[in-house]
Amino acid sequence: ETPVVSNFIRTIIDNDLKNGRFEGKRWAGRPGPASVQAQGGLDPARIRTRFPPEPNGYLHIGHAKSICLNFGLANDYGGACHLRFDDTNPEKENTEYVDAIKEMVQWLGFDWHYSDESNLYFASDYFETMYQFAEALVMAGHAYVDEQTPEQMRATRGTLTEKGQNSPWRDRPAEESLALLREMRDGKHPDGSLALRAKIDMGSPNINLRDPVLYRIRHVEHHRTGKTWCIYPMYSWAHPVEDALEGITHSICTLEFEDQRPFYDWILARLAELDQLAEPLPRQYEFARLNLTYIVTSKRKLLQLVQEGQVKGWDDPRLPTLFGLRRRGYTPEAIRLFCERLGVSKADSRIDYSVLEQALRDDLDPKAPRLVAVLDPVKLVITNYPEGQSETCHAPINPHRPEDGERTFPFSRELWIERDDFREDPPKKYFRLFPGNSVRLKYGYVVRCTGCVKDEQGNVIEVHAEYLPDTKSGTPGADAVKVKGAITWVSAAHAIPAEIRLYDRLFTDPTPDAGDKNFLDYINPDSCKVTQGWLEPGANATPGAVWQFERLGYFVADRIESTEERPVINRAATLRDTWV
């Protein structure tokens, strides 16, 4: 097991626990999730984190980093991590995404069910409480209804170098704002005509504190609350409230929210003063988001790739979505290992794609069963081996795990080998088949190449060789004949035909979406090559089965399209990093 590597968030948690920041069962009788109420408050000794996806798309490898971090911390500290759907943007959200996200969190090996509590929440469950909080803010003079248009608000917000200007409606009486807020909620005003804004400081150097909008009017149906609401909270207002209602102790988000933290703290402090929320209040911490080379991880760009047909859907094995990675052959263990190796930092960087692939190799090498496959086949005829005869060869299922036992497969006169394992005119240091040279057929005999047969265009259609009867692997004296090369093969009469999809990176450029580059200009035209190959007989190509194909890499039976009759195999990763 990989030892736990400390990080700045762990240091913060350790200090908080030492200083008793969460002591006192302060949440009983507060507004909040029914499950929390039923418990009579929250367990004060527990740290609480949350993973808060918006159900507007499929999870990708960047989300995995956040999931591993939040659920991982909760597990390590005996705390709890909440899965909370931040469903405050009804236009783009739906329950299909909700289900897909739940499935992927569990696939990664995490769970929001604990022995004594279940922590699945929806921001929409707090709409009523949030609304009540908003009324309290209005009554206390901390929020007002603005009648400026969205364009006017943008124009008066100011810039980094220029202060904003107060809205003419900023100092209207609280009762007036309250009455308008109720009309907004009751559907009496069209979209964009009114907004509820926090009253903070239009001169603040932090633009996020220049009277940010709390509620806007959107006459749209929500996938969970239907037509109950026509005002929806802004994310920056909803998020601290959701965290507080759930008793989150450490609200961990990506760096772009750093500038929002003062507003996060402002909202919670005002609501605590108004006795709507109680200490200990959640605190927000930021870490660097995951960026990978040779791929994009923004939901919008992933959607574009799918919609424009650059890939075959959300689960295309070339996409960094968790559905895509699973189909590509990634295991949850490999993704968790990758996230552990990334660590948690505050410095933005792009991680090389090969780090992800290496995590897969490191996970699969010790456990994946081995198999022989030939991807680009040419026939090898053993001219001195009797026709119609065959014999059994033995190979370890996994050389790292002798306890897994052996596999067996037949040797016969006609074999499939890789086209590249024969050269009529070999380059220097080529130790495989060429006329006059001997190689070992792995797990079989040493053979000496005697020539080849070509078609009219000069393509090699058969390679010929003679075997040396005393050299069979595993028999006494097998090593008496020394050879420099060993190649893999399958018996032509016994091998299983398979479609093999050789996936590669989706982009040819390491930073396809950096700066003002258009990522669509860098699509790798060879990101999927399809070949008709052969598998070792006995290969049990049940959908989702993963192997190491000897000498070739890690492969998986496609979980959607593969059948036992017609295996479809995806290359997950080459054996070594071959990308140059």
| Separation of alpha carbons 110 and 51, rounded Å | 11
- The reply to whether 256 belongs to the active site is no
Q: Is 101 annotated as a binding residue?
A: no
Smallest separation (angstroms) from Mg ion to the CB of 129 = 22
Nearer to ligand ATP by Cβ, of 195 and 253: the residue is: 253
Position of minimal CB gap to ligand ATP: 62
Residue 79 near residue 73 (C-beta atoms within 8 A): yes
Determine the Cα–Cα distance for residues 229 and 185; give it in Å rounded to an integer.
Answer: 7
**Binder of Mg ion out of 16, 43, 54, 265 (CB under 5 A):** 54
Running DSSP on this structure, what letter comes out for residue 32? Answer: -
For the bound state, the minimum distance from the C-beta of residue 252 to ligand ATP, rounded and expressed in Å, comes to: 7
Whether 400 has a binding-site annotation, put simply, is no
Residue 524 binding target from Mg ion, ligand ATP, none, CB below 5 to 8 Å by type: none
Alpha-carbon radius of gyration of the chain: 31
In the complex, which residues of this chain contact ligand ATP (CB under 6 A)? 52-54, 62-63, 65-66, 253-254, 289-290, 297-299
**Least distance from ligand ATP to the Cβ atom of residue 60, Å:** 6
Question: Quick check: 497 and 534 in contact, CB under 8 A?
Answer: yes
Helix axes 261-273, 127-139, angle to 10 degrees: 80
Least distance between ligand ATP and beta carbon 58 (Å): 10
Instruction: Identify what 570 binds: ligand ATP, Mg ion, none; CB under 5 to 8 Å per kind.
Output: none
Would you count residue 62 as binding Mg ion (CB under 5 A)?
Answer: no
Could you say which of 21, 289, 350, 379 is catalytic? 289
Q: Is 86 annotated as a binding residue?
A: yes
Rounded to a whole number, what is the distance in angstroms from the first to the last CA of the chain? 32
Q: Is the CB of 54 or the CB of 265 nearer to Mg ion?
A: 54
CA–CA separation, 326 vs 574, rounded Å? Answer: 16
176 labeled binding residue: no
How many other C-beta atoms lie within 10 A of the C-beta of residue 461? 11
Provide the token pair at 192: 């964009």
Alpha-helical segments (H) within 42-122: 61-76, 95-107
Closer residue to ligand ATP in complex, CB, 104/253: 253
289 labelled as ligand-binding?
A: yes
Question: Is 406 known to be catalytic?
Answer: no
Helix (H) or strand (E) holding 14: helix 8-18
CB of 123 to ligand ATP, least distance (A): 11
**Does the annotation list 559 as a binding residue?**
no
Q: How distant, in Å, are the alpha carbons of 37, 242, 325, 455, 512 from that of 33? A: 6, 10, 34, 75, 43
Q: Helix (H, G, I), strand (E, B), or coil: what is residue 60?
A: strand
Nearer to ligand ATP, 183 or 256 (CB): 256
Closest contact distance (angstroms) between CB of 243 and ligand ATP is 11
Catalytic residue selected from 197, 210, 299, 327: 299
* Choice between 54 and 352, CB closer to Mg ion: 54
Residue among 57 and 377 whose Cβ is closer to ligand ATP: 57
How many Cβ atoms are within 10 Å of 458's Cβ, its own excluded?
7
Cβ-contact 54, 223 below 8 angstroms: no
Active-site residue 289, yes or no? yes
Q: What is the C-alpha separation between 425 and 49, in angstroms, rounded?
A: 63
* Nearest residue to Mg ion on Cβ basis: 54
Binding site per annotation, positions for L-glutamine? 86, 235
* Residues at the interface with Mg ion (CB under 5 A): 54
Binding site per annotation, positions for ATP? 54-56, 60-66, 254, 289-290
Q: List the catalytic residues.
A: 54, 289, 299
